[in-house]
Amino acid sequence: VVVRTIDGDPVVLRNEPLLDDGTPMPTRYWLCGERETVLAGRLESEGAVNAVEAELDPALIAAAHERYARERDAQIPADHVGPRPSGGVGGTRVGVKCIHAHLGWWLAGGDDPVGSWAAQRLGLDRANYIVTSAPVRGEKLAAIDIGTNSTNLLLVDEVGQEVERRVTVTRLGRNLAATRELSEESMTATLETLAGYMTLIRQSGSQRILVTATEACRRARNAEQFITRARDILGVTPEIVTGEREAHLSFLGATAHLDPIDGDTLVIDIGGGSTEMIVGNASGVRFSVSYPIGAVTLTESHFTSDPPRPEDLTNAMVRRPTTSTTSSATILRFSTSPASSGWPARSSRSPPSRSDSRVSTQVRSMAFPSPVRQRRTCSAPSPPSASRIGSPTRVSHQSAPTLSSEGAACSSRSCGDSNWMN
């Protein structure tokens, strides 16, 4: 099921291009929603096939068939021998055969002018549906994240599968808190890493490059100088994303490979220069906040030893009056993922083996002050707690990469302003 109603009812199914016995399946997307199939059937009975062929440019329809076929054929194993599916939407390469097939692909995110035409006449809006599995990409992509602590590269193929993942600690934000500028040494190290990444990108044949820069570039007075030099190497201008945008991207990345669940998910992304907390569900992000507190900034400001001394942890905690009403916080499910500036691991699901890196809990409850902060005893790397925001059922914790960073992570949890929980 790749498309559901807001209530969770299935609307579109997607099958593999080959059955288990090798039988080819030209059609991948099947409209199965009770209301949608009836509406599409009525539209067809009123002459929609002839009408849409008369209204739309045949070249647009033919291009849609080609896109559909490329997406489907990209899912066929490279070593497959035998019959292969042919045709485009509905099994044809010319004109329109089935409104249901076009509408199903369009609802699933396909670039289909026929499906869009039908949706407009039926009053259907994608915003009223949940796409539970994103459409297969049709081009090779390269993504670069320039963080405060590390510079990351991800290469994916035409079907969205990971080809290469690199994490290089470049410390772009070194001494930023003290100088408010990116040092020449840190910029040079980061630019050299970007040049190396560009070599990999060219070798991979990626048709599109996406580049983001986060907290270090948001705060540095000379960020534009760095961005200009990076653009000369990459050929594209890195986007300095806002804290809110970073939070949204963190949520999408952290939950992309998790099984869908009912209820909310809390994602905590502890990076080198900032920490994001995001609450969302299958419909999207409901709330997000970004704090300018990260593993690098806290380490440089407060930690002089590894592991941190208790007094360093205490000094890193932001104190406010603790007299306040409290709200209950519950964790029903907890899992770890790499931080944005953290584990140099190929898998996005878990960090390198560490006895305490994956935590399984039943229910943990504690009181949070609202909206002020509350001191708690440091116990890194124990899991954070989440407010009962629509009864959250999963917490995804982005753990930091070093012992010092764990102390920073604990401190950021200890001083986390719980106003966001409301």
The pTM for the full model equals: 0.49
Give yes or no: residues 212 and 338 share one domain.
no
Q: Strands 394-399 and 334-338: what pairing? A: parallel
Tokens representing residue 102 in the block: 């076009």
pLDDT for 199-219, tens place per residue?
999 999 998 999 999 999 999
Q: Alpha-carbon distance 271 to 273, whole Å?
A: 6
- Structural domain span for residue 61: 3-131
Query: Which among 28, 216, 26 has a CA at the least distance from the CA of 108?
Result: 28
Same domain, 127 and 147: no
- Residue 126 and residue 165 in one domain: no
pLDDT over 70 at 410, yes or no: no
**28-56 mean pLDDT:** 94
Does residue 246 fall inside a structural domain?
Answer: no
Instruction: Write the CATH number for 188.
Output: 3.30.420.40
CA dihedral 398, 400, 403, 406 (to 10 degrees): -60
Q: What is the pLDDT of residues 266-283, one digit of tens each?
A: 999 999 999 999 998 877
Same domain for 126 and 145?
Answer: no
Is residue 136 in some structural domain? Answer: no
Residue 300: per-residue pLDDT: 86
Closest CA to 209 of 219, 199, 201: 201
Condensed to tens digits (0 to 9), the pLDDT of residues 302-357 reads 888 888 888 888 887 754 333 332 222 222 233 333 344 433 333 333 333 333 33
Give me the DSSP letters along 155-221.
EE-TTS-EEEEEEEE--TTTTHHHHSS--HHHHHHHHHHHHHHHHHHHHHT-SEEEEEE-HHHHH-T
Residue 59 lies in a domain: yes
Could you tell me if 81 and 179 lie in one domain? no
**Would you give the end-to-end CA distance of the chain in angstroms?**
33
The predicted-structure confidence for 140-160, as pLDDT tens digits, reads as follows 899 999 999 999 999 998 877
Structurally, how many domains does the chain consist of? Answer: 3
Q: Out of 85, 111, 131, pick the residue that ends a domain.
A: 131
